[in-house]
Amino acid sequence: MKQRLITGLLWGSLAVLTMIKIYTPMMGIIIAIFSMIAVHEIEKAANVKNVPIIALSIIFAGVLPFATEYDLLVKFNIPLAPVMIAYTIILLSLMLAKFETTRFEHVAVVLVASVCVPWALSTFMLLRDVYKLYPDKFLPSQAFYLFFLAISCAWATDMFAYFVGSKYGKHKMSPKISPKKSIEGAVGGIILTIFFNLISLYIFSTFVYKTFIMSYWLLIPISIALSIIGMLGDLSASVIKRNYGVKDFGSIMKGHGGIMDRFDSCVFIFPSLYGFIMLTQSF
């Protein structure tokens, strides 16, 4: 637990630094690096050994966040569909080149991992820039708080659920998927995250921006929904690891596993919150 706590504090410091530099090129670079590492972790867990496929997918995973950050497809007038079609065909062609050691399952894993994970992580930047997409509905301060809210629902829920479950957990939430997770931990994690978000909203509204950011009553159901979605992401990642017989996706974070182990909740929460905003603003 000591190692987990120390590592958590170190990466928490990185998260704070990232938020400080959220409107600088550093953000796109960090997301690109995390995407490339995460895709490599999934491919390693799935025992993908086709080197050209691995190399191409990692490059694609790094380029996608940059394309999102700087809106490259629009600037160069490149439709998304042909890019995805060409990428898929190339992956399948590389499978043919080494069909003895490459199964279709490997290509499917690579395609999903190298497209879905980088795009999900790219919603970090899309959520950050929501005030640009809807300038008449959101202020930069509100967009920043939405980003912070998504991070807190992912990491605070996980942290609080871990500590509450370690002390009071008796009823297993999903024993066949993640034996250490308990119903008590999940409920405790959600409740404590709600209080954490309410306090943080008060601090942001009163001392940081000194302006209205979000209704406290709206924050409660959003916190509950995002915390539950984050848990689904965590459990989904656990299923993948069990399918391939690995404990963690990686070891870059001592006591926490790899990038995917730390961001499994985020890849569900950020796209969900961004999608919810787009859906509600379309009416």
Alpha-carbon distance of 58 to 228, in angstroms, equals 30
Please give the span between the terminal C-alpha atoms of the chain, in angstroms, as a whole number: 47
Which residue type is seen at 101? T
Total domains present in the chain = 1
pLDDT at 41: 96
At 139-183, the pLDDT tens digits run: 999 999 999 999 999 989 999 999 999 999 989 998 889 988 999
Tell me the percentage of the chain whose pLDDT exceeds 90: 75
DSSP-assigned letters across all residues of 137-151: T--HHHHHHHHHHHH
At 175-215, the pLDDT tens digits run: 889 988 999 999 999 999 999 999 999 999 999 999 899 99
∠ CA(117), CA(213), CA(204), 5° rounding? 85
- The whole domain housing 36 covers 2-281
Helices (H), 46-136: 51-69, 72-75, 80-97, 104-128, 130-133
Alpha-carbon distance of 142 to 165, in angstroms, equals 33
Nearest to 265 by CA among 223, 220, 230: 230
pLDDT at 26: 82
pLDDT at 19: 73
Distances from the Cα of 267 to the Cαs of 76, 129, 203, 210, 217, in angstroms?
28, 17, 27, 31, 25
At 99-138, the pLDDT tens digits run: 888 999 999 999 999 999 999 999 999 999 999 999 999 9
Q: What is the CA radius of gyration of the chain?
A: 20
Contact 230, 269 (CB under 8 A): yes
Query: How is residue 247 written in tokens?
Result: 């404990």
Band of residue 249 on the pLDDT scale cut at 50, 70, 90: very high
Q: Lowest mean pLDDT: which of 19-23, 69-73, 124-128?
A: 19-23
Nearest to 39 by CA among 267, 260, 279, 273: 260
Alpha-carbon distance of 37 to 43, in angstroms, equals 10
Alpha-carbon distance of 223 to 197, in angstroms, equals 7
Helix, strand, coil percent values for the chain (each to nearest 5) = 75, 5, 20
**Beta bridge partner(s), residue 174:** 178
pLDDT at 22: 83
